[in-house]
A and B are shown apart, each in its own frame.
Chain A
């Protein structure tokens, strides 16, 4: 007997209006200004005079039944039954009445969540899936974030940075974590190890050849079987061949390292949006706590906090003081690997006598 299948309802993206806080709905597009009464709290005032108080909190991001239920319980008892999630996976409770703010904060903190992440704080790290669920990760994501947030929790709870700091992580060089003021990304250092017995059965070879950014892969017969070979002199160890061809193993417990990049900024505020730049590499991928990576992040944050002016994002600060000073202040080594040789690299070279001494 044929199984009866249910046809999907192709409703697409649900209308968010039906889940929106009534004060938001009533004042949609009619907001006048906002204030930042304390870290983790925003007050938005509408032209109508209506107020909307937001309390932001950080969570473990991967929510289990008990955590989700707790967040909903807090929403029902102390907020107005609405929850908004930020792009960085923070939970936001919205309330119309100032009197509800302090009891809400108390309930959030009592439940173990962390109020903060607004304005010039170190925001929640944005991260990907890592070993928990990705098919190509060189490291974990949730564990790295947990370890770093344990160390940066005071910077999340306070607003002591010159401007906001967005930190991202990525478990491979595709960089799903995106651009960040500080980005901690996997950086492979050895070419893929190929299991030639599997390639012809598993991989669509022309697609894999096409995927290589430096044309280092070519079809080959190995041990009488059709396979692929890598010109290891050309290979940049990026791992782009691994997703379409898992027998080209790129992840290595020792040689897959972490690299740190700084100055990525998506905002148009002051300067145009900017890409992050390499500052440190060769950092061991060291679970369960990744202390070496965290130490470098903390050094960079300390220098930024001490030396940057109010409202300067990481990229604004480095633009002002120059890269030589950045390396001097952070005591990170500057190497030949910092000099770009990718497309458009000429634009990153200094063709002037603008030099700080």
Chain B
């Protein structure tokens, strides 16, 4: 099976991308065009390559969105209709299906093969693990193929991810499954949070997108602070663990100068010093859990044992008011019991409800916070103010403060309780 020679779209520019040592996606596409035992896929890929070559030649994209979903849902599909479908008819519908991966991106080869087989039966056979949204991106099928593919994978445990103004597919780092820095059960948190909102994932009805991301420690490998509306970061509040013998072994191996230059003086709060006996003294009251010294000396220094999470909200990318990092909303929340997990889900519900009520169309949660002010947002979701939420207090005196006495009293009451 293959595409007739005279029907193959020439791809001189794409062919250049087959050269060089890095694996080539173009080579992969061409094998699907030329070798895969399905005439439908051969022709679809040929057509798609033709359009991509056309984009390379004209330096423009030719896909348009639309409205496609599966029965019962309102989202989860990225519809793509070609603007040049007359010239490339076999790929004129080329939708992407966003599928939620297992939390933590773990797979068995058996499951990958099963997903691959379903996709070859109903789609183009081209897939990405994973897109920037955290979804498995099954790239390229028709409206009809969308439904068949979903029906099949849904039967064996997979569900669509978010697309459009809705709760999006969540992401979490590998964390406790492999990493000694992990300070929380990222996996459980990921599932608890996003699976509480399946309705909001499948039926886009929010002001804009809302993303959950979970990182097990402040290294934040999941980019949660930077690119999620609701970032949960594992941390600890007791003293970091120091293995004196391993510290000595590290100093002996690397030398004192290395340790001073790369560990002691790099501490952002000057909380470390090298003792005369080549152990390390830690000022834990001033440690901000930046992770640097643990990263350099993972065998000698470990997170403390009183684990919990820090919650930040409002991270997003450029559109529309410029990039925002998340802001601390809860400095520390213990995560031990089921009630602790229920509490964080409840905070997420309060947040989404408040934002759904008060956010403008196409306004991310962080943009709403900026527009109405953090204090108003906190009041809206029922969280008390905390000095950990700011880098510094207000510096401009142009503010009305006739509620000062009540607020000060509230602070002392909260401190006492």
Contact = CB atoms under 8 A, between A and B. Distances in A.
Interface string A298-328: 0000000000011100000000000000000
A65 B36 contact: yes
Nearest to B38: A65
Given A64-B28, A176-B132, A52 B178 contact: yes
A interface: dominant SS: loop
Contacts of B317: 174-176, 178
A87 B171 contact: yes
Nearest to B139: A133
Interface stretch (A67-75, A97-105, A226-234, A349-357): A67-75
Interface string A60-95: 111111111101100110000111111101000010
A118 interface: no
Contact of A62 (B36, B62, B128, B173): B128
Contacts of B170: 13
B319 interface: yes
A19 B111 contact: yes
B398 to A, nearest CB: 16
Contacts of A137: 61
A227 to B, nearest CB: 19
Contacts, number: 357
Interface string B184-200: 01010011001100110
B104 A20 contact: yes
Interface in A185-239: 207, 210-211, 213
Contact of A14 (B32, B158, B360): B158
Interface stretch (B279-287, B295-303, B343-351, B382-390): B295-303
Given A6-B71, A12-B195, A285-B59, A65 B120 contact: yes
Contacts of B126: 62-64
B46 to A, nearest CB: 13
A59 B180 contact: no
A268 B125 contact: no
B59 A288 contact: no
Interface of A: 5-21, 24-25, 28-29, 31-35, 44, 52, 54, 58-69, 71-72, 75-76, 81-87, 89, 94, 112-114, 126, 128-140, 142-143, 146-147, 149-150, 153, 173-179, 207, 210-211, 213, 240, 243, 246, 251, 253-254, 256, 264, 266-271, 273, 275, 285, 287-289, 309-311, 342-343
Contacts of B78: 133
A240 B208 CA distance: 15
Interface stretch (B217-225, B373-381, B405-413): B217-225
Nearest to A127: B132
A133 B94 contact: yes
B202 interface: yes
